[in-house]
Structure 1
Amino acid sequence: MTWSIDLNCDMGEGFGAWKMGQDEEILPYVTSANIACGFHAGDPATMRKTVAAAIRHGVALGAHPGLPDLAGFGRRNMDISPQHAYDIVVVQVGALAGVAASQGGRLRHVKAHGALYNMASKNRELAAAIAGAVRDVDASLVLYALAGSAQVDAAGEAGLKVAQEVFADRSYQSDGSLTPRTQPNAMIEDPDVSIRQVLRMIKEGKVAAVQGGDVAVAADTLCIHGDQPGAVVFAKAIRKALEAEGIVVGFAPS
């Protein structure tokens, strides 16, 4: 049996004089870039530079729309309506699509960021609003969504291609959601532990929950967070391990 996996990374999350992440260093090891669009992070110049860098490395371009919350980095839940979610996703995806075009590129996918992603993974109305926004901007875009979540169903109902996403550096709850960052052991900081989790998700379609037992997952794309300490080490180690196992690194949406 031949397995394949896309490697994606959140990028372009600095703004102004503030730099975040190691985008240039991590780009050689990933196949998709999720680029902040200015609401939770990023600014016009950072968007342009990140798009250009991804194109140079042959990495697929994706919009990474988040909540309008620079101070909280888009990781704080907000009580937004589905219409508000639709509107902010349309604006952010449209903006990055314009930046991509200015650099001779084109968006391939969209992945919601942070709290917006997590809320929509459980809230069907928010999930439908995000999927509808992506479809209405460009129905050919692929929606990256937490494996098994409400976003996967919403993408299908909107007629979008979907890439079910798993995480290399996050632990899982028994309902298939990610462990909140406010809880202990939410982040996996040991590359060896991460690699074992990744290989099992790809080959067996399972991941261990922190409460015990396994959760079934479908793995089309694997996220490596570019803002965590040691992100480049993680990306390099995971890419090497995947190739050593004969796993094809590339994009294949469901």
Structure 2
Amino acid sequence: MVKTTIDMNADLGESFGHYTIGDDAAMLDVVTSANVACGFHGGDPDVMASTFRLAREKNVTVGAHPGYPDLWGFGRRLVPFTAAETERLVAYQVGAAQAMATYAGHRIAYVKTHGALGNLSEQDSDVATAVLNAVQGVDASLALVAGAFGVLGRLARERGMTVYAEIFADRAYTEDGLLVSRKQAGAVLHDVDYISERVIRMVRNGAIETISGKMLPAPMDTICVHGDSAESVAIARTVRARLEDAGIALKAFA
């Protein structure tokens, strides 16, 4: 069955202090869901509150976007925390996001892990279990955004959690349906036309396109466009416009 609606999300609220990362206001005019940094890899209380408030005004669904406490590496470096430590780190960030969203008059609907924590939670069952324990320990009603082929989504479904399957517009995929490491050339895509055409192919075929061009059938509920690069807004606008031209409307999953 051909999809007629899909969600589009972006990682936002990643500025902190005097440092501005991305154009959140412009992205919130395009996306239907926003994954808001919780203060560890990016974000701070002021940024979180303003991002949640602006998302509420623009009718954009919001989720918590926890990562490793790694401002220097933007949460993209592996940090050797134990599973128990990871569980508490995630619980801490989800709780902070809920508090700041409530303060801003909005409500957290889901959780999506960031960067190195996100990649590891898709591949390591102990880390995935820690993330799920944290989320359910804080609020069992929260949904999860996860990759179609990772362990995180599978374990979450086994627990009866609501899981929204995600595809990335601007990231390359391995033959196993996982993200190509950012250490490898071609892992991050930049050509707006290519990205848009690839997204249309994936959504129309209900399949993830690997780096070799192979199509892996997969569920998909939301498309991620990263919000931290110079071309992010242009990519998001173009992808949305091409989807709508193809008869696929943007609609928040939650």
Structure 1 residue 229: deviation in Å?
2.3
C-alpha separation in 1, matches of 2:108 and 2:30: 19
- Give the secondary structure class of the aligned counterpart of 1:29: coil
- Structure 2 runs not aligned, ≥5 long: none
C-alpha separation in 2, matches of 1:169 and 1:120: 20
Runs of 4+ in 1 over 6 A off after TM superposition: none
- Give the secondary structure class of the aligned counterpart of 1:17: coil
C-alpha separation in 2, matches of 1:177 and 1:42: 27
One-letter amino acid of the structure 2 residue matched with residue 7 of structure 1: M
Matches within 5 A, 1:3-18: 3-18=4-19
What count of residue pairs does the alignment treat as equivalent? 253
Residues 226 and 232 in structure 2, CA contact (< 8 A), matched pair in contact too: yes
RMSD (Å) for aligned C-alpha atoms: 1.3
Structure-2 residue corresponding to 1:108: 109
Residues 146 and 166 in structure 1, CA contact (< 8 A), matched pair in contact too: yes
C-alpha separation in 2, matches of 1:160 and 1:81: 24
Structure 1 residue 212: deviation in Å?
5.0
Matches within 5 A, 1:17-56: 17-56=18-57
Structure 1 residue 211: deviation in Å?
4.0
Distance 1:203 1:211, change over 3 A: closer
Matches within 5 A, 1:124-135: 124-135=125-136
Residues 93 and 134 in structure 1, CA contact (< 8 A), matched pair in contact too: yes
Structure 1 residues 7-59: Cα deviation after superposition (integer angstroms, max 9, x where no partner): 00000111110010110011111000000001111111111111111111110
Structure-2 residue corresponding to 1:152: 153
Structure 1 residue 207: deviation in Å?
2.9
Structure-2 residue corresponding to 1:234: 235
Structure-2 residue corresponding to 1:223: 224
C-alpha separation in 1, matches of 2:165 and 2:81: 24
C-alpha separation in 1, matches of 2:231 and 2:213: 27
Structure 1 residue 178: deviation in Å?
0.8
Structure-2 residue corresponding to 1:76: 77
C-alpha separation in 1, matches of 2:53 and 2:176: 38
Q: What's the % identity of the aligned pairs?
A: 41
C-alpha separation in 2, matches of 1:124 and 1:216: 23
More divergent stretch after superposition (199-208 vs 103-112):
199-208
Residues 174 and 214 in structure 1, CA contact (< 8 A), matched pair in contact too: no
C-alpha separation in 2, matches of 1:201 and 1:99: 35
Structure-1 residue corresponding to 2:197: 196
One-letter amino acid of the structure 2 residue matched with residue 59 of structure 1: V
One-letter amino acid of the structure 1 residue matched with residue 63 of structure 2: G
More divergent stretch after superposition (155-164 vs 168-177):
155-164
TM-score, L = length of structure 1: 0.96
Residues 85 and 129 in structure 1, CA contact (< 8 A), matched pair in contact too: yes
TM-score, L = length of structure 2: 0.96
Residues 4 and 252 in structure 1, CA contact (< 8 A), matched pair in contact too: no
More divergent stretch after superposition (113-122 vs 197-206):
197-206
Residues 144 and 163 in structure 1, CA contact (< 8 A), matched pair in contact too: yes
Residues 2 and 248 in structure 1, CA contact (< 8 A), matched pair in contact too: no
Structure 1 residues 77-112: Cα deviation after superposition (integer angstroms, max 9, x where no partner): 122222111101100000010011111111011100
Distance 1:185 1:6, change over 3 A: same
